[in-house]
Structure 1
Amino acid sequence: MTEIAYGDLLAGFTPALPYTMDTAEGAPRAAGVHVVLAGDTVLYVGRTGNLRDRLRQHLTGNRGSSVLHDQIGQELDRTGPVATASDIAHWLNRCVVRWKETENPEAEKEALVLALTPRFNRQVPRPRPATGQNG
């Protein structure tokens, strides 16, 4: 996907910020969608009812509480000993995060996952068939 398309898809999102605890603490306590990027590549799209809490949870949670935390942990496990929560947070600290407040985070996430197929999203929704009117 081209950078222009990313710009279109991520219109209305915050600028890219380092994915650190300070950044997570500055996120709003509002419903929204967030994306985690490595360079220009979207690695993960998530939705939540509370952006601040969810971004913090990805950094400090456990593998059962965060799909992103679990997926990164599994990847790190393949190249060394079982990754700790600290190892996973350190990996995420090399990424950037962007978010967008929205009243319908589920639909926004679904559209982004379908368009971007991020590597750390476990399930990619199926495209919905177009509904047309027969005349």
Structure 2
Amino acid sequence: MPDATHDDLLAGFTAPQPYTMEAVASAPRAPGVHVVLDGGVVIYVGRTRRGLRDRLRQHLTGNRDSSVLHDQVGQLLDTPGNAASAADIASWLGRCDVRWQETDNPEGTKEALVVALKPRFNRQVPKPRQASGGE
């Protein structure tokens, strides 16, 4: 179950909804940040300086070169000798929830969420700054 910090970090986001094309159709065409949740746990944080709607659609219908999330889920679903199809990936994501928030600072918002939540499908988690001579 998410803790208070998790809820606070996502306070400005939309309510969770199934990650389907129907939900994506209601996303704005504005810059923002989106999170994908599996069982209430944030597994991916993404951002776009363009339209949230288009980026969310790209994760569902794109290809592994155009979407880190699409690629990461594909790798999870791949079996020896059989690469997961785009439909397999979209089906898996459809069992997840998605939330988003419009923001003029998608990069900063995403970085803060990745550092705090450490989502499993984000390839690079920025290292928090440490004081020299740390304990």
TM-score norm. by structure 2 comes to 0.91
Q: Distance in 1 between matches of 2:34 and 2:68?
A: 13
Asked whether 1:118 is paired with 2:116, we answer no
Percent identity over paired residues: 68
Q: Any gaps of 5 or more consecutive residues in structure 2?
A: none
Equivalent position amino acid for 2:15 in 1: P
Question: CA shift at 1:66, angstroms?
Answer: 0.1
Q: 1:79 to 1:116 in 2, by over 3 A?
A: farther
Q: Distance in 1 between matches of 2:91 and 2:115?
A: 28
Is the 8 Å Cα contact of residues 32 and 48 (structure 2) preserved in structure 1?
A: yes
- 4+ residue segments displaced more than 6 Å: none
Question: CA shift at 1:128, angstroms?
Answer: 3.3
Is the 8 Å Cα contact of residues 3 and 40 (structure 1) preserved in structure 2?
A: no
Question: CA shift at 1:127, angstroms?
Answer: 1.4
Question: CA shift at 1:126, angstroms?
Answer: 1.6
Partner of 1:97: 98
Partner of 2:19: 19
Q: Distance in 2 between matches of 1:19 and 1:128?
A: 34
Equivalent position amino acid for 1:41 in 2: V
Q: Distance in 1 between matches of 2:42 and 2:16?
A: 11
Equivalent position amino acid for 1:51 in 2: L
Question: CA shift at 1:75, angstroms?
Answer: 0.7
Q: Distance in 2 between matches of 1:95 and 1:80?
A: 26
Q: Distance in 2 between matches of 1:106 and 1:16?
A: 21
* Superposition CA RMSD, Å: 1.6
Is the 8 Å Cα contact of residues 2 and 40 (structure 2) preserved in structure 1?
A: no
Partner of 2:82: 81
Q: Distance in 2 between matches of 1:43 and 1:79?
A: 24
Q: Any gaps of 5 or more consecutive residues in structure 1?
A: 131-135
